[in-house]
Amino acid sequence: MTPGVEITTGPLGQGVSTAVGVALAEAHLAATYNRPGHGIIDHYTYVIAGDGDLMEGVSSEASSLAGVWGLGKLIVLYDDNSITIDGSTDVAFTEDVLGRYDAYHWHTQVVEDGNDVEAISEAIEAAKAETGKPSLIAVRSIIGFGSPKVQGTSKAHGSILGAEEAEATKKNLGIDWPEFTVPDDVIAHYREATERGKKAEGAWQERFDAYAREFPDLAKQFQTALKGEAEGDIEDLMPTFEVGGKAATRISSGKVLNVLAEKFPQLIGGSADLAGSNMTTLKDVPFISKDDYSGRNIHFGVREHAMAAVANGLSLHGGLKPYVATFLIFADYLRPALRLSALMDQPVIYIFTHDSIGLGGDGPTHQPIAVLTALRALPQLAVIRPADANETAQAWAYAMTSKTPVAFALSRQDLPHLEIPKGSVKKGGYVLADSDGTPDLILIATGSEVSICLTAKETLEADGHKVRVVSIPSTDIFDEQPEAYRESVLPRAVRKRVAVEAGATLGWYKYVGLDGAVLGIDRFGESADGDELMRRFGFTAENVAEYARKLL
């Protein structure tokens, strides 16, 4: 939203962690596109971080990954001033930070005086010389330097100096210009960056033009990826799944992902140590390592939060379309970075599998109850819970062209393939099965509960009732549709409605109204076979029909 501010790092630790993604993007794109004599991708990634950043767990996760990947062009300048808002860092932070980063396989240095510009410059050059490890430079600084009363104290952290103290600081530092002014020589010095930038961009453009003449196909691929655009109707590229078959939507997602990966070399990502369950490994594609950055599969390890932050960096760099994956319940572990994806309009794809009590025996610790509701509350995030393989394919088509992040909620258990009209998911909700004439009742569902509602419709029709089944894979997308379309799907005149979802009921009442009912779960789950749990918690066609009969 602010010109010149390209990355939002307000929550502590996100800057360091996002930068790991930026540095990984540089390494991968360089390995993918650079050719001998043609270095079109070649830059360093710099971070200025504080004590608070390095206290946060996400920075530890991401720094560990940076060491695993040997990101030699990542340089962190650690403002080591030993002060946080609550006072001296030693009240809660006494570890050997450099020792910790040594253990992460980083190159570490210390600059004892933060005002020694030459020493800082020399340290940066030494960091550049270490090509096989990321670098941490601890710069010992004094917070509020030059302020007679607050220098070196926590007061300089979160409070303004005030007019009197500001004047005393200026006098102490020999600053003689009025407030809210910048001296001409300072302006002139900074504006030299504009000319340097023009020259640097011009030189790069000349290099790229020469590259494009010699490698036209690679240059076109690079430019297309950099724009972040996909040509044509992606839905036409999607596989279709014939009615009569069945599969878990996580498995269908994996198949679709591999089809897309062949068409879109900018797709890159992985899982937080659950690739075999999330179905996110690209076939016949190498994994990224410090010895080979050209792969597009990524091992993130058990680091959900850092995984999402790294994905933000991959996206922000440009030229890549990142996806990440874990179980839906662990969306809470990465939520701060996902929130920043939405805040920054970064179209990261989040693949969340094992989406309900239907996952079975792992029990309540792994069964998401309120997670879908919480994710749907986040602005600028489209949450899609597909009913079958064909809705899953359409969800991927939507995500590939989305300008904001998209989260999939996918099933562990098999679901029957349905006849899904083209373009349904991009509307968020649609009429999947209708009645003759105005319906007496509307059944609304998402994900694995849609097919249950279709069976309940048959039962109710046998009783003589007219029933419409509406699939709403994404309430976020549906709510953005024109009012006339939403009215055509959920007409106000039909007040008897039942919403069915194996999750928290909060959020569904706005669709069913005062005369409707919601079949959901507002308690923790249990440990048992997934099909048995679905029956025990009432997610059967018979129980849905009974809910409907009570309304009718």
pLDDT tens column, 10-69: 899 999 999 999 999 999 999 999 999 999 999 999 999 999 999 999 999 999 999 999
d(CA 251, CA 189): 58
Instruction: Estimate the crossing angle of helix 304-317 against helix 331-343, to 10 degrees.
Output: 20
HEC profile of 376-436:
HCCCCCEEECCCCHHHHHHHHHHHHHCCCCEEEECCCCEEECCCCCCCCHHHCCEEEECCC
Domains 234-416 and 428-551 share a fold: yes
d(CA 230, CA 276): 28
User: Average pLDDT over the chain, rounded to whole?
Assistant: 96
d(CA 268, CA 322): 5
Residues in Cβ contact with 308 at an 8 Å cutoff, skipping those fewer than 6 apart: 324, 334, 337, 338, 341, 348, 350
Query: Is 229 annotated as catalytic?
Result: no
**pLDDT value at residue 264:** 94
Q: What is the DSSP letter of 492?
A: T
Between β-strands 74-80 and 135-140, what pairing exists: parallel, antiparallel or unpaired?
Answer: parallel
Q: What is the pLDDT of residues 277-287, one digit of tens each?
A: 999 999 999 99
**pLDDT value at residue 230:** 67
Could you tell me the fold of the domain covering 14-187? Answer: Rossmann fold (3.40.50)
CB 48 within 8 A of CB 19: no
Q: Which of 26, 56, 304, 391 is catalytic?
A: 304
Q: What is the pLDDT of residues 299-340, one digit of tens each?
A: 999 999 999 999 999 999 999 999 999 999 999 999 999 999
In terms of Cβ atoms closer than 10 Å to its own Cβ (0-12, 13-18, 19+), residue 244 is: exposed
CATH code linked to domain 234-416: 3.40.50.970
Q: What is the DSSP letter of 540?
A: S
Domains of the chain, by residue range, sit at 14-187, 188-227, 234-416, 428-551
How many CB atoms lie under 10 A from the CB of residue 148? 11
Could you tell me the fold of the domain covering 428-551? Answer: Rossmann fold (3.40.50)
Residues in Cβ contact with 466 at an 8 Å cutoff, skipping those fewer than 6 apart: 435, 436, 437, 438, 439, 440, 441
d(CA 124, CA 470): 60
- Tokens 């369950």: give the residue: 277
Please tell me the pTM assigned to this model: 0.97
**pLDDT value at residue 232:** 67
Q: What is the pLDDT of residues 61-99, one digit of tens each?
A: 999 999 999 999 999 999 999 999 999 999 999 999 999
Residues in Cβ contact with 73 at an 8 Å cutoff, skipping those fewer than 6 apart: 23, 26, 27, 43, 44, 45, 131
d(CA 198, CA 450): 56
d(CA 544, CA 465): 14
Residue 279 identity:
M
- Tokens 């098999």: give the residue: 414
Instruction: Estimate the crossing angle of helix 304-317 against helix 14-33, to 10 degrees.
Output: 50
Q: What is the pLDDT of residues 239-255, one digit of tens each?
A: 999 999 999 999 999 99
Rg of the chain on CA atoms, in Å: 27
**392 pLDDT above the threshold of 70:** yes
